Amino acid sequence: MGNSETPGSPRRPLVRFWRWLWEQPKRWFLLGIPVGGFAAFVVGILFWGGFGTVLQATSSLEFCTSCHEMRDNVYQEYKQTIHYQNPMGVRAICSDCHVPHAFFPKILRKMSATINELPKHFLGVIDTREKFQAHRLELAQQVWAYMKSTDSRECRSCHSYEAMALAAQSHSASIKHSPEWRARTGQTCIDCHKGIAHTLPEGL
């Protein structure tokens, strides 16, 4: 059988290049690190920086409201709430409530949005106000179920039970924010605060 790397073979320059890329350099100032190692390091840094930039960009308020389904519906409601404008000047944007802050849960949420939400956007499932209203209860229940399953994790990234001055709250609120109430009922933020940033669906 013939040798696939005979002189003149188009593969031979590639083989030589690959060997050169990963052979240990003899010059001391290269620290014995092959050129391929340096290249892999640089590519890794560029990939990680680009990946982080994409994650940050797709979590911005501008990105979330770039499609008219969000901009013309829930965004307009959100602008009328205390999460958008308040005396303290602290603004919670879409991703603060709907995207986990921890890395791996964030990646899973992004993947879920890509698989489940992007196709619906391109298929025009809620591309009119009438369609949005027709699906609103279903969409809200999906979000509430997700938040319940994470113990309102994103709410608690800003609102800490430990930091609450219960004595300054109403009697009812102080009871429901107490550890005893939460342990007894299993309730979490979303159980009582479903309409805090968006209008509640009709028929709820």
- Band of residue 8 on the pLDDT scale cut at 50, 70, 90: low
User: HSE-up of 21 (CA within 13 Å, CB side)?
Assistant: 11
**Contact in structure between 51 and 57 (CB atoms under 8 Å):** no
Question: Exposed, middle or buried, 144 (CB in 10 Å: 0-12/13-18/19+)?
Answer: middle
**pLDDT for res 204:** 73
- Band of residue 17 on the pLDDT scale cut at 50, 70, 90: confident
Average pLDDT, the chain: 89
pLDDT digits (tens, 9 = 90+) for 54-107: 999 999 999 999 998 999 999 999 999 999 999 999 999 999 999 999 999 999
**pLDDT for res 30:** 64
Q: Where are the domains of the chain?
A: 14-57, 68-192
Identify the weakest region by mean pLDDT among 5-9, 27-31, 67-71.
Answer: 5-9
- pTM for this prediction: 0.77
